Amino acid sequence: MGPLLSGYHRFREETWPQQRARFEELAAQGQKPHTLVIACSDSRVDPQMIFSAGPGELFVIRNVANLVPPYMPDAAFHGTSAAVEFAVRVLGVARIVVMGHALCGGVRALLDGAPANAGDFVAGWIGIAERARATALRCDTPEAAQEACEHEAVRISLANLMTFPWVAEAVQAGRLRLRGAHFGVATGRLLVLDGETGEFAPA
């Protein structure tokens, strides 16, 4: 707990005095985030830092390889789908951003196979993006394959979001926009998916 408590003390001494009024407002009035960000659990990729967002602005889902499964309302446990439902149907976010990133370990596992000691859940989970693997394996180099697979995983998640009937309805009604993005860990550059061309370009 040492590093965590040290960080907490810095928060109380430096951040809390500056943000106290905002937290009190959020406590009294509830949250109203404008954007749902679906990002990877990778410790190098922090959506709030990347988008310079303050408390209450973003509703964030993080999982391995920033994946969204297809709509499947059954008795199984669906953490990502539950969070999407809450963000769209309860909080009424105006946009959803699926943000992939460079050097994604989940995508690497999709390309090379999940680590032997991560077979209980990781192998099945990354199977959501299986068709991205076929696209990536047509690339000439491992680096190009990795990036192509990362990009394709974002596209798959965006397509899967549209299988949720209340997401599709909100998009068609103009109340919700879906966007894709890709963050370069080493470069700090953000690419945004162009809805017309289907390609990623610098933000």
Instruction: Tell me the Cα Rg of the chain.
Output: 18
In the chain, % of residues over pLDDT 70 = 100
| Mean pLDDT (whole number) for 55-68 | 98
Taking phi over 0 as left and psi of -120 to 50 as alpha, with beta for the rest, 66 belongs to left
Helix/strand/coil for 90: helix
Q: Note whether 156 and 133 are within 8 A (CB).
A: no
Tell me how far apart the alpha carbons of residues 99 and 157 are, in angstroms, rounded to a whole number. 10
Domains annotated for the chain, with CATH where assigned, are: 1-30 (no CATH), 31-202 (3.40.1050.10)
Question: What pTM did the predictor assign?
Answer: 0.96
Q: Note whether 67 and 123 are within 8 A (CB).
A: no
> How much is the pLDDT for 115?
92
Banded pLDDT at 8 (limits 50, 70, 90): very high
Banded pLDDT at 73 (limits 50, 70, 90): very high
196: pLDDT strictly greater than 90: no
203: pLDDT strictly greater than 90: yes
CA distances from 99 to 9, 103, 150, 175, 192 (A): 30, 13, 10, 20, 9
| Mean pLDDT (whole number) for 1-21 | 96
Helix/strand/coil for 46: coil
Q: Note whether 108 and 147 are within 8 A (CB).
A: no
State the Cα angle at 162 between 153 and 179, rounded to 5°. Answer: 60
The residue ranking higher by pLDDT, 136 or 172, is 172
195: pLDDT strictly greater than 90: no
Q: Which residues contact 147 (CB under 8 A, 6 or more apart)?
A: 102
> How much is the pLDDT for 97?
98
137: pLDDT strictly greater than 90: no
